[in-house]
Chain A
Amino acid sequence: MSSITPLIALGQVAEPASRTPLVIIGIYMCVLFGLGWISSRLFRGSSKDFFVASHSIGPFMLLMSVFGTTMTAFALVGSTGKAFSLGIGVYGLMASSSGLIHAACFFLVGIRMWSFGKKYGYVTQIQFFRDRFESKKLGYLLFPILAGLIIPYLLVGLIGAGTYIGGVTRGMFPGTFAAGAVPGWLTGLVICGVVLFYVFSGGVRSAVWANTFQTIVFMIMGLVGFIVIAKGIGGLAEASEMTRQHAPEKLVREGLMTPAHFMSYMLVPLSVGMFPHLFQHWLTAKSAKAFRLTVIAHPLCIMIVWVPCILIGIWGAGLFADGSLFVPKLPNGEPNANAVLSMMVKKFMVNPVLIGLFSAGVLAAIMSSLDSQFVCVGSMFTNDFALPLFGSERFSDTQKVWLGRGFIVFIVVITYVISIFKPMSVFNLGIWCFSGFSALFPIAFAAVYWKRVTTAGVFASVIATAVTWALFIHDALGRAAGEQWFGVKAHGEYLIAGVMPVAFICLASVVALVGVSLATKPPTSETIDKFFPAKG
């Protein structure tokens, strides 16, 4: 089964492991630098090009950039770890539901948002909301909330990358770092540096180029890695048989989740309809037709990435239960689910070149999200905070680009520091972040389909979302186990009345949005005419 010695399996390394994987990762980073440099040659120097690539992106690059943006450490490191804990049901929780819901958001909301962006020249989501809901103040309320929700999303990437590289480099630097592994702070520093470089070079255009390249890399390497790991265990059938023998509960959902819990997860993928970085990617599209490929192929791309990860996760559970897989422990004594993917790679990929390529693929998935999020926070700061506050005429186009860059660095430093001191489950952190965005989705939907929605209703919805989200996250993470006010913790999840908190946060958001809108004055006819053009 494995050619790795028991000593290494126990984490007590006898001699330094090969550093070839790090060399490969280094080469990959250099390629990204090169790509950043090339795309910067195409950068037109205008803020419109920096923020929305002058609406020039075609169908294939739109698919790759949108898909790459939605797949982060959550999809590779998080899904493998969650399947290790919760079994095969994790695919239904997030992947198959996303195939339906994500594509629905692109089709029903994305195309309309793109059309308004194209027609009226919006660069960010908040600009659209400010116009649609006739309120400048709404921008000042939404900006800190959306930027604040992006921070946990960035954390997902940094923590996932740090844990993965820590696992895969274990034993490479004995005496230099703990367990001879590259520490998370160093991994975070390097990937932030590389992504900042290419994002600064060409803005969203660089991000789209890099996303396309990185999405192809992680999809191919993911499949190659899956085949190698399966072969290392002894074959697909043997791998699953081992899980059936030692961790049979991971092959079913009974005992690990309930139908109500499973169903409530369907609300989580609604978050893509409200991601500000995805809105920005939508705006890069050359035409509405560019969305067609994204809508159709997105569910298939998710399947290609997630099915191997889920299988690796449940195989890891079987091997762990059998005692033949080492997984580092968390301070509470539980196995660190975030480390499962790297431990499986370390154990079953013998060829260091292959380990390096696969690891580059994992980092590609992570960086392909970070870049879009970086550009997005910069865009929001410039267009939704600084310009409305100080006046657009006060800044030249170049200064606008530099304002965005400055804020990106500010947010990246904050996120980086948090990632070092407050690591937590990549999957759970992602779910909390997505839950906040999901609860704001009714606002995006109402903005394009409901003429009667009012400014006051939107304010009420945003406040209801912020309050319930903060209350539940404090209850789940800030209080000792067993002392929760609203929910209970089961199988590593925080559930209220047996369902995910997102159900109640969404409910509060919708009730506030609809109730207050119906009780307040309808929007002006000018606004309705502007955003609901007559058909034909």
Chain B
Amino acid sequence: MKKVVYGLLILLAVIHQDVWWWDNGELVFGFMPLGLFYHSLYSCMAAAVWAMAVKWAWPGDIEQWAESGDEAGGEQ
């Protein structure tokens, strides 16, 4: 699943470049320009993919390591 999540993130980066309706000024629901509507949906898709990332690609190892006990650092 981790690979699927990373694949979806790359896909999101690609479909952000929506050149296919670059000059389409149609109004969705009578008020929302199509380009703005698409990118609003894009924001929702991004949230959904990040939810998948949290579920299936969470860096649990680093979290566990950090919470295994504080150590003194360098020069603070």
Contact = CB atoms under 8 A, between A and B. Distances in A.
B75 A296 contact: no
B64 to A, nearest CB: 9
A452 interface: no
A251 B72 CA distance: 56
Interface string B1-43: 0000000010011001111001111010111110110011011
Contacts of B73: 119-122, 127, 131
17 contacts: A96-B42, A100-B12, A107-B53, A107-B54, A119-B65, A121-B73, A127-B73, A131-B74, A244-B25, A251-B27, A259-B19, A292-B54, A300-B44, A314-B33, A383-B76, A533-B62, A536-B61
Q: Is the interface of A mostly helix, strand, loop or mixed?
A: helix
Contacts of B12: 100
Interface of A: 88-89, 91-92, 95-97, 99-100, 103-104, 107, 111-112, 114-116, 118-123, 127, 130-131, 136, 236-237, 239-241, 244, 248, 251-254, 259, 262-263, 266, 287-289, 292, 295-300, 302-303, 307, 310-311, 314, 383, 387-388, 392, 533, 535-536
A8 to B, nearest CB: 27
Given A104-B9, A295-B53, A96 B23 contact: no
B30 A89 contact: no
A499 to B, nearest CB: 13
Contacts of A115: 62-63, 65-66
Contacts, number: 166
A251 B25 contact: yes
B66 A119 contact: yes
A293 to B, nearest CB: 9
A127 B63 contact: no
B16 A97 contact: yes
10 pairs of A and B residues whose beta carbons are closest in the complex? A120-B73, A115-B66, A254-B23, A131-B74, A251-B25, A236-B31, A288-B63, A303-B43, A99-B46, A237-B30
B66 A288 contact: yes
B25 A127 contact: no
A525 B7 CA distance: 33
Contacts of B63: 111, 115, 287-289
Contacts of B36: 88, 91, 307, 310-311
Nearest to B59: A111
Given A266-B16, A292-B54, 16 more contacts: A91-B40, A104-B9, A107-B50, A115-B65, A118-B70, A119-B70, A127-B75, A131-B73, A131-B74, A259-B19, A295-B53, A298-B47, A299-B50, A303-B43, A392-B76, A533-B62
